[in-house]
Chain A
């Protein structure tokens, strides 16, 4: 349901150009990493820069995905909801590249080391949990799967994005040596986005059930 009765003015067909623009914009970080890698502009430790940079973008897109519903409710622009799946798939796309970069560039298929890392290092365990959830959500994101699973079950499954986002931010915070500033910024943003949902529930659930 729409939160404000007075929707902000914006052409109804805005999604017609916003969606392709956003689609292209979300590819720019990847393009930048390719250009920078070819141009040797990623610093002394390009592998670390690529692994971390892709992780940053996965996290940013995950938060952007979670921002869709609160923005839709606040603005009253129903079409914003049409961006959610694309953004979520992009979050998964960057998370997958992040994991691939870790497996191929950082560890170069050293499966023993990878196994130890995933089982023994809590920050990698937590990151892997987040990735596996995103994988499950990406696989079940197609429209026909919504139908096959049934709306309620599909929704319940996809509410796993909340633990995935919490795990992703935790993964980042647990990796950092001493300077927690950036992980705390992500934590605050995630808390805000989850808080919006709690607030919405508290305000509207009682009304709806009445």
Chain B
């Protein structure tokens, strides 16, 4: 599905040069949900933007479904952390979701129907006529998810999508992502700084080293398919893995572990 090979991205020149990610290699299989976790400043967002084709890497390459990524590829959608700024305040919620569909779907009515269906899929039926700023933070982030899902992407990239909502809302949104993933034929790459979240939603957890970001560990999550915020999080396997990830994230050691 997704092959990332030796991906490097540096910013600036000369003495001010700064390497955000260095020689990152990873692969994601069709239908997987992979969490990428790392300390702040480890280049997680840079990695995601390179994979999305939003910024060009300075080295290495990204191949999505056999095609090298140069610009934003087909079948890919992005949910950014900053829902408050990525939703357009001058458009209603429905128009926000429908806007990207202009590229693929002809006819206002068809786009409207698709947008409403997508809003219903994130349990937001009936708020289509409101403006984003009239909704709570959690609801706004669900609008952003609905907008991404409306494009029916094969790969969904999420950049710290729940970083700025309260804990309860965060858990609801995690369960929403898990449900969406069950219901659709979709591959998800989720960047987060929250260790519990990375283990709870992931099939695999990729741990990055502090900047420049390299892959420190790639750990499979061996937890039952159906997850529950209370039950799953008290399983010995969950606790063991979250402890391991936590230790890896906190350590200043930048070597890869296998």
A interacts with B: no
Residues of B within 8 A of A (CB): none
Q: Which residues of A line the B interface, CB within 8 A? A: none
